[in-house]
Structure 1
Amino acid sequence: MWVKLAFKLFARELRRGELTIIFAAIALAVLTVFSLSSVTERIGLNIEKKTSDFIAADRRLSSNHAFTDNYINEANQQGLETASLLFFDSMLFANDELVLGSVKAVTEQYPLRGMVEIKDTLESVGYEIRGGPKSGNIWLSEGLFYTLNVNVGDTVELGAGQFTISKVLVSEPDAPFFSLAGNKRVLLNYADIGSTKAVQVGSRVFHRLLFAGTDAQLSDYYLWLKPQLKENQNWEGVKDRQSPLGENLARAERFLLLAGLFGIMLAAVAMAVSAKRYCERQYDPVAMMKTLGGSRVVIRKIFLTHLALVTSVSIIIGLSIGFVLQYFGANYLAQFMGAELPSAGIKPWLLSAFIGMTCALMFSLKPLLDLFDIPPLRVLRRNLGDRLAISRIHMASSLFTIFLLMWLFSGEIVITLILFGSSLLVIGVLFGISRALFSFGRKLGLSPGSSWSLAIATLQKRANANAVQLISFALAIKLMLFLVVLKNDMISDWEMQVPADAPNAFFINIAEQDIEPITTFFNDNNITHEAFYPVFNARVNAINGEELARRVSKQEGEERDEDAREGVSREPNLTWLSEIPEGNEVIEGEWFSNGDDIEVSVFEGWKEVLDLELGDTISFLANERRFDAKVTSFRSVDWGTLKPNFVMILSPNMAGKTPVTYFSAAKLEAQHNKGVSQLLQRHPTMSMIDIKSRLEQAQSIIAQVSLAIGFVLSIVLVSGALVLISQVQASLAERMQEVVILRTLGARGRLIKLATLYEFVLLGAIAGFVAALVSDVALLLIQQQLFDVAGRLHWYIWLLGPISGAAFVATIGYLMVANTMRQNTQGLLRNLS
């Protein structure tokens, strides 16, 4: 019997629109979470795929000695794709020219991820393929063609073997970030290693195995592999520190994580507010049902059935709309990026449905319990039950649910606490501000016919409801401001770490007599370049006469002296300069004096590493020469400029006291390739380090994340508008009553319209100001804790928050009630009845 009644009431309320609010809130939560999680997951997968391309695999295993066969056999048994690589240096000979080349021998499966770019001739256009040279053939980088004076089809000797040059090697996906042989690369078939006779027992070679497969396959294989790994064997992936792209990928994932969390928060707020509003609107029907003899059990079954029906239908519709939304959004992003985004897995479907059900249950449970407790006497005394309007239990359970959902989605407790804590701060501040402003409004003494006076009186009358509205408005604005700062400032800051004019090639081992002709070449070809810095290597041997720990050989079983002072494991590049270089700033001490003693300025990151203080004396060992330098300053260094930088800079009086070579950097374009190769041929001691492909890859990741943030921002704007609409819609009946009363008392239509507009302007401006204030504090913490950068305040959002909040709330709010304002008094009375 109750089932039939439940469905009749459900159909009736659907026609009346009573279930619209809660239905829209659940659907909003589901479609927001699904669209955001799907798009961010697809872009994240694409970013990870791109970075995997740049190590030519999903994982790689590196070693300086050969691998046993069981490594590959086990990988093949577990369904992984594999490829073998061997790196070694060997001499190439052709046309009476001899040059040392950097050889990479590859199996036919190489590369497992990414593509090799080659050209058929020096003049032809490059194209991408997967694979390497066939046995008997060899691919040479463009610089070697000019150095050896050869063409495609010629024969070249590599070690003891002779090979036919079949292609021009343009680029490889796993080319090292810094390669001293960047212009002298050789690609060889793995089967031809023996014919070169360049790899013998004791030869200096480097082995690498590449693996590709699913995450589960790779994890299972690593479980088998880990116990067998030697100390000098490294298992690496794109997220590992060993990968130069690891930090870029980690930062991209953090940005996408923030974007997804914003969607979770907004959907949860919409559901919590809407569920409460819906249940409040059912107080009178429940009181009537109880008056007519309806039992508590029957009423509970009816409304729980309604909740189940609304939840299931809204989840289905939310998933459908979310799928369409993410489909078109992802396709647009894919076309914009010129790449096909991978398909998202089942996680967005399960996560969205789970969040929809959780929101419906947790945010509706306490309001429904309050609804069941409504006394029958409310049909006569309409104020009975109003004390249930604000429930601390409902608020606490809603907040706890939101926190758990955020934590579940992110898996990051720190970022969850920052975002959740800042939202609590918004709630607390707004409750205090709303109370203070609404009570202060009574003392303003505005004239009775003033629209501002009427607006403030309306705010005072609905103080509790307006406080809830302020909170939902402020949280929506807060999320929008977060995304605006993420897209406009933090993404830009990240992008500026690799400026557009950054050098993309380094030139090292330059002899002093070669500086003038090289400078002339750069100027004649309009190549932007940096100054030429004198460079030499030296070991930090002692500090204040105390010897640093000596490096020991584990191979020989040596043990480190535990009592010795900790040093650094590498010999740094040193230079001397008279002026502070660009991108450096003295943060402690003074730049060099003109004294006779050698002085040194140290990068601030090495201050703690070497436990240095101003005035300390550092003893250096350069070749066999020892010298001392006094620490006179510590510097901050902007390494992101990619311009020549040094951890230690010596005073100019170091000049002439040790042999040096020179170092510079330049920004090269495609038309410079041939000329630069000829330049390297004329100056054989000089080497070039090409990092162009890595810069392009880093910029590609930044562009994708920026697009993702823009997409999320558009979703949040739409979701925020829906939250506002649901809030205003819930108060339409009360506003109709106010309009009828005001018209009856003789208020003009213009006065009522302006008062309503001013009410929304005040609500939006207050919400926007608090949102801006709290957002900036939270962003400061996020920059420091999540992105490990020096945080800074964003003053422009302090102005943007109130202005955008007032405009956003006033526009949508006024449009929602405009129809009510246009109706005559008789029509409003009919609607109220």
Structure 2
Amino acid sequence: MWFKLALTLFSRELRRGELTIIFAAIALAVLTVFSLSSVTERIRLNIEQKSADFIAADRRLASNHPLDDAFIIEANKLGLETARQMFFDSMLFANDELVLGSIKAVSEGYPLRGVVTLKDGFDQADYEVRGVPLRGNVWLSEGLFYSLGLAIGDKVEIGAGIFRASKILVNEPDAPFFSLAGNKRVLLNYADIEATQAVQPGSRVFYRMLFAGEEAALADYYGWLKPQMRDNQRWQGIKDRQSPLGENLERSERFLLLAGLFGIMLAAVAMAVSAKRYCERQYDPVAMMKTLGGSRATIRNIFLLHLCMVTLFSVTIGLAIGYVLQAVATDYLANFMDAQLPQAGFKPWVLAITIGVVCALMFSLKPLLDLFDIPPLRVLRRNLGDKLAVSRVHMALSISTIFVLMWFFSGELKTTLLLFGGTAILMLVLFGVSRLLFSAGRKLGLSPGSSWSLAIATLQKRANANAVQLISFALAIKLMLFLFVLKNDLISDWQMQVPEDAPNAFLINISEPEVTSIESFFVQNDISHADFYPVFRGRANALNGEKYARSASKQEGEEQDEGAAEGAGRELNLTWMTKLPEGNEVIEGTWFDPTSEKLEVSISKGMAEGMNIKIGDRLTFLVNEQSFEASVTSLRSVDWGSLKPNFVMIFNPMVAGRFPVTYFTAAQFSEGDEKTVSQLLRDHPTVSMIDIKSRLEQAQSMIAQVSLAISFVLAIVLTSGALVLISQVQASLAERMQEIVILRTLGARGRLIKLATLYEFLLLGALAGFVAALVSDVTLLIIQRELFEVEGKLHPYIWILGPTSGALFVATIGYFMVANTMRQNTQGLLRKLA
């Protein structure tokens, strides 16, 4: 019986449009979440895939000893692509010249991600390939050709083997970001290792296995591999790589995460407002049903069925529209970036459906329970039940649900708390300010009959409703301002960390006599360059007299000294300076005292935390066979993302002259400097050059993609904000009709009513925009420092942009919504109200 009645009422509600608001809100939540999560996920996957090019794989396993063949066999079973690498140093001999080269032997299939860049001649254009040298051939970096006096096709001896130098090696995808090998690199076919006879028992050899494939298969493989890995073997992805690239990838994901969270927040607000409004509009029908004998159980079943049907239809429609929207957006982004964006998988579907259902249930639950408690006497006394309109329980439930949904979407409690806390502060400030202003509205003393007086009186009359509206407007404006600043300021700040004048090449292994010659070469050819830094290799061996743990050989059955502290685990590039380098900031202690005659050292914050070093500690260093001690006088923050020369440990000049050093600098070469670079390397064959141009391009590509994604999110949020505003204004249409009828009856002219309505929305929008701007700026300041670890700054221009855009946005949409109502005659309005 009730089921048939429920279907009849549902059909009637659909025709009357009573379910339109809640239907649109759920669909809005679903399509917003689906489209935003799809676009941001696809761009994130694209960034990760491009970043994977820089390790030539999706994952890699590194080891100091040979890796078991079973690792490859199991990976192939899971459908993963694999390749092997072996690294060792060996002497190269040709034309009576002998040079130490860094050999990388690679198997078939390399690279699994990215490409190798080659040249067929010194003056030839470079090109990209995916493959390895043929057996009996090697690809040499340009510096080796100069050092050995080779021409393309000449023979070169590597160990006991003789090979044909067939190509000039310009770049490999997994070339080290900074390596003393520089331009003395050799790419060798893995099958030719034996021919060199360079790898003997006791040789210093480094091994890698590369893996590429689906994330699920990689996760399954790592689950199998992890129990079998030794302590000195490392499983790495691009995020594990300690370089500016890994930092940029992490930062880009944070930007995309913030963008997605804004969509979640706005969709949830739209649903909360709409669910409450829909239930309020059912008070009279429920009272009528109870008067005619309808039981509470029957009414409950009817409206719960309505909610289920609306949820099902709206989720389906939201998914369909969201799918079309994200397809259009990603096609545009793919064409703009000239890239094929990968599919997002099931995550956006699961997120959208879950959030749509949870929103429908949690935001409707308390209003529905209130709806079932409406007394039958409401048919006679229309104000009965109105006290249920503002429910603290519903508000608390809605706020808790929004927080849980944001946490569920982000998976990061800190990020969620920052955004949620900023929004909560906005709501509290706005509610207090709005009540204070609206309650004081009649004390302003404006002249009777003026549009401003009528607007302020209307605001004061609906103080509670306007406070809720103001919070909704301010939240929408806050999210828009937030995204606007995120795109135009934070992205720009990020981009500024890779400035146009950033160096695109490092020059290392410069001897002291060559410094003056190379500096003169730079000046003559107008090449921008950094200072020349002395560099020597050394190891931090002990802290306050206690030795760091020595690396133990698991292959020889040694065990780690559990009582010793963990050191850096490797030799470091060390230098000395008198002035604090650019991009560094002393955060604890003091920079070197020029009058001090003691050995002092400054350490980067990250290294100090990893080695548990504090100001005043004494570090013992081992350089070659010489040991010396230095006091820690300062800890520095280092901007590694700037791509400028940086060091984890810097000594004062008292260390100068103790050890032989080479010099290191950075330079910026232009597009047409290829011949200039070749001449430099010919004149200085022992100098090594590291080209980081491709790394710079990758960083800029990430920034461009994230900026485009946020532009799309901003468009979605703007649309969603407009829909939230429309639903809020629509909720007050009935009350506005009553006011218009009363004002016309009292003789008010149409112009007075129109201007009063316009001023009302202008005041609401300006106030919402002003508070939203202030709260947004404070929240952005915290986010800059806590999430992106950059120096925070305020953005005063949004204090003007907020009120201005808020007033125009709310007034335009609000006035448009009520314009049709004001155009109707009094008789028509009375008929609608009846």
TM-score, structure 2 length as denominator?
0.92
Identity among equivalent positions (%) equals: 72
463-472 or 658-667, which moves further after superposition? 658-667
Match of 2:550 in 1: 552
Letter in 1 for 2:758: L
In structure 2, the CA distance between the partners of 1:236 and 1:652, relative to structure 1 (3 Å rule), is closer
Cα drift, residue 96 of structure 1: 3.9
Residues 122-201 of structure 1 correspond to what in structure 2 (within 5 A)? 122-201=122-201
Cα distance, 1:289 vs structure 2: 3.1
Question: The residue matched to 2:299 in structure 1 has which SS?
Answer: helix
CA distance in 2, matches of 1:376, 1:623: 93
Alignment of 1:743 with 2:712, yes or no, is no
Q: For the residues of structure 1 that align with 2:791 and 2:448, how far apart are their CA atoms?
A: 52
* Correspondence list, 1:202-281, <5 A: 202-240=202-240, 245-281=245-281
Which whole-Å CA distance do the structure 2 matches of 1:125 and 1:689 have between them? 19
Residue 375 of structure 1 is matched in structure 2 by 375
Contact between 1:542 and 1:619, CA under 8 Å: does it hold in 2? yes
Q: 1:547 is aligned with what amino acid?
A: G
Give the counterpart letter for 1:724 in structure 2: L
Matching residue of 1:700? 701
Residue 831 of structure 1 is matched in structure 2 by 832
- The answer to whether the 8 Å contact 2:147/2:686 transfers is no
Conserved? CA contact 1:549–1:561, under 8 Å:
no
Cα separation, partners in 2 of 1:620 and 1:132, compared to 1, 3 Å: closer
Is 1:779 aligned with 2:780? yes
1:805 alignment counterpart: 806
1:35 corresponds to 2:35: yes
1:467-482 aligned within 5 A: 467-482=467-482
Partner of 1:465: 465
C-alpha deviation, 1:471, in angstroms: 1.6
In the alignment, the residues of structure 2 paired with residue 289 and residue 321 of structure 1 have an alpha-carbon distance, to the nearest angstrom, of 36
Partner amino acid, structure 2, of 1:323: Y
Residue 59 of structure 1: how far off its partner (Å): 1.3
Classify 1:448/1:503 alpha carbon distance in 2 versus 1 (closer, same or farther; 3 Å).
Answer: same
TM-superposed CA distance for 1:108, in Å, is 1.2
- Aligned mates of 2:204, 2:656 — CA distance in 1: 35
Q: Which amino acid aligns with 1:324?
A: V
Task: Give the match's secondary structure for 2:323.
Answer: helix
Q: Structure 1, residues 689-721: CA drift from partner, whole Å, max 9, x if none?
A: 322222222222222222212211111111011
Aligned partner of residue 181 in structure 1, secondary structure? coil
Which runs of structure 2 are paired with 1:324-363 in the superposition (5 Å)? 324-363=324-363
Q: Identify if the C-alpha distance between structure 1 residues 333 and 366 changes in structure 2 by more than 3 Å, giving closer, same or farther.
A: same
Is the CA contact 1:240–1:246 (under 8 Å) kept in the aligned structure 2?
yes
Computed over aligned residues only, the root mean square deviation of the Cα atoms, in angstroms, reads 2.9
1:756–1:139 CA distance, 2 compared to 1 (3 A): same
Is this contact kept in 1: 2:93–2:158, CA < 8 A?
yes
- Residues 391-410 of structure 1: CA deviation (Å, up to 9, x unaligned): 22222222222222222222
Aligned to 1:285: 285
Residues 52 and 652 (structure 1), Cα distance of their counterparts in 2 relative to 1, 3 Å cut = closer
**Farther-moved stretch of structure 1 (801-810 vs 632-641):** 632-641
Q: Following the alignment from structure 1 to structure 2, what is the Cα–Cα distance between the partners of residues 316 and 558?
A: 60
- 1:168 is paired with a residue whose SS is strand
Q: Which moved more, 1:151-160 or 1:746-755?
A: 151-160
Alignment of 1:583-622 (within 5 A): 583-585=583-585, 595=595, 597-598=597-598, 600=600, 602-603=602-603, 605=605, 611-613=613-615
Of stretches 318-327 and 187-196 in structure 1, the one that deviates more from structure 2 is 187-196
1:1-37 per-position Cα deviation (integer Å, ceiling 9, x unaligned) = 5444433333333232222111110110110011011
* Contact 1:27–1:318 (Cα < 8 Å) also in 2: yes
In structure 2, do the counterparts of structure 1 residues 8 and 165 end up closer, same or farther at CA, with 3 Å as the change threshold?
A: same
Q: Shift of the alpha carbon at 1:153?
A: 3.5
Any conservation in 1 of the 2:271–2:363 contact (CA below 8 Å)?
Answer: yes
**Aligned 8 A contact 2:542 2:548 in 1:** no
Residue in 1 that maps onto 2:516? 516
Q: How far apart are 1:469 and its partner, in Å?
A: 0.7
Quick check: 1:599–1:632 contact (8 Å CA) kept in 2? no
What is the CA distance between 1:809 and its match in structure 2? Answer: 1.2
Q: Measure how far apart 1:622 and its partner are.
A: 5.5
Give the corresponding residue for 2:720.
719
Stretch moving more, 574-583 or 194-203? 574-583
Shift of 1:262: 1.3
Query: Are the aligned partners of 1:487 and 1:710 in contact in 2 as well (CA < 8 Å)?
Result: yes
Structure 2 CA distance for aligned equivalents of residues 753 and 459 of structure 1:
15
Distance in 2, matches of 1:765 and 1:518, equals 61
For the residue of structure 2 that corresponds to 1:342, the secondary structure is coil
Tell whether the 8 Å contact from 2:575 to 2:649 is kept in structure 1 after alignment: yes
- Rounded to whole Å, the distance in 2 between the matches of 1:565 and 1:132 is 42
Determine the C-alpha separation between the residues in 2 that align with 1:802 and 1:205. 65
8 Å Cα contact 1:179/1:690 also seen in 2: no
In 2: Cα distance, 1:101 partner to 1:658 partner: 24
The Cα of 1:39 is off from its aligned counterpart by 0.7
CA contact (8 A) 2:288 2:376 kept: yes
Tell which deviates more after alignment, 62-71 or 453-462.
62-71
The 8 Å contact of residues 588 and 634 in structure 2, kept in 1 or not, is answered as: yes
Residue identity opposite 2:410 in structure 1? S
Contact 1:61–1:233 (CA under 8 A) maintained in structure 2: yes
Where 2:673 maps in the other structure, the secondary structure is helix
Evaluate the alpha carbon distance shift between residue 408 and residue 575 of structure 1 in structure 2; reply closer, same or farther with a 3 A threshold.
closer
Matches within 5 A, 1:414-563: 414-537=414-537, 547-549=545-547, 552=550, 554-555=552-553, 557=558
- 1:472-500 per-residue CA deviation (whole Å, 9 max, x = no partner) reads 11221222222223222322232222222
Query: Residues 199 and 489 of structure 1: is their aligned pair in 2 closer, same or farther, counting only changes over 3 Å?
Result: same
Equivalent in the alignment of 2:760: 759
- Could you tell me how far 1:621 is from its partner in structure 2? 6.3
SS at match of 1:239: helix
Aligned to 1:420, what secondary structure does the other structure show?
helix
> Alpha-carbon deviations, 1:565-611, whole Å to 9, x = none?
98765665554545444334556676666647356462462777575
SS at match of 2:717: helix
Q: Cα offset for 1:99?
A: 2.7
Distance 2:396 2:109 in 1: 58
Provide Cα deviations, 1:57-112, integer angstroms capped at 9, x if missing partner.
12111112212222222222232221111112223333444333222111111112
Q: Kindly provide the CA deviation profile for residues 229-253 of structure 1, in whole angstroms up to 9, marking residues without a partner as x.
A: 1222111112225576433322222
**Cα 1:630–1:125 shift into 2, 3 Å:** closer
Compared CA separation, residues 624 and 398, structure 1 to 2 (3 A): closer
Consecutive unaligned residues in structure 1, runs of 5 or more = none
**In the alignment, residue 405 of structure 2 is paired with which amino acid?**
L
Cα pair 2:247 2:641 within 8 Å, conserved: no
Q: Residues 816, 346 of structure 1: CA spacing in aligned structure 2 closer, same or farther, 3 A cutoff?
A: same
Summarize the Cα distance change of 1:539–1:62 in structure 2 as closer, same or farther, 3 Å threshold.
Answer: closer
233 and 538 in structure 1: CA distance in 2 versus 1, 3 angstrom threshold: closer
Which amino acid in structure 1 is aligned with residue 147 of structure 2? Answer: T
CA deviations on 1:254-276 (whole Å, 9 max, x unpaired) are 22222212111111110110011
Would the aligned equivalents of 2:184 and 2:688 in 1 still touch at CA under 8 Å? no
**How many Å separate the matches in 1 of 2:222 and 2:670?**
42
Q: Report if the CA contact (8 A) 1:592-1:599 is conserved.
A: no
Change (3 A) 1:471 1:63: same
CA–CA separation in structure 1 for the residues paired with 2:403 and 2:585: 42
Determine the structure 1 residue equivalent to 2:69.
69
Q: Is the 8 A contact 2:603 2:632 kept in 1?
A: no
Between 567-576 and 306-315, report the one with greater CA deviation: 567-576
- For residues 536 and 78 of structure 2, the distance between their equivalents in structure 1, rounded to whole angstroms, comes to 49
Q: CA deviation at 1:797?
A: 3.1
- Who is 1:313 aligned against? 313
The answer to whether the Cα contact below 8 Å between 1:541 and 1:547 also exists between their aligned partners in 2 is: no
Is the 8 Å Cα contact of residues 540 and 619 (structure 1) preserved in structure 2? yes
Q: Distance in 2 between matches of 1:618 and 1:168?
A: 44
The residue identity in structure 2 corresponding to 1:167 is K
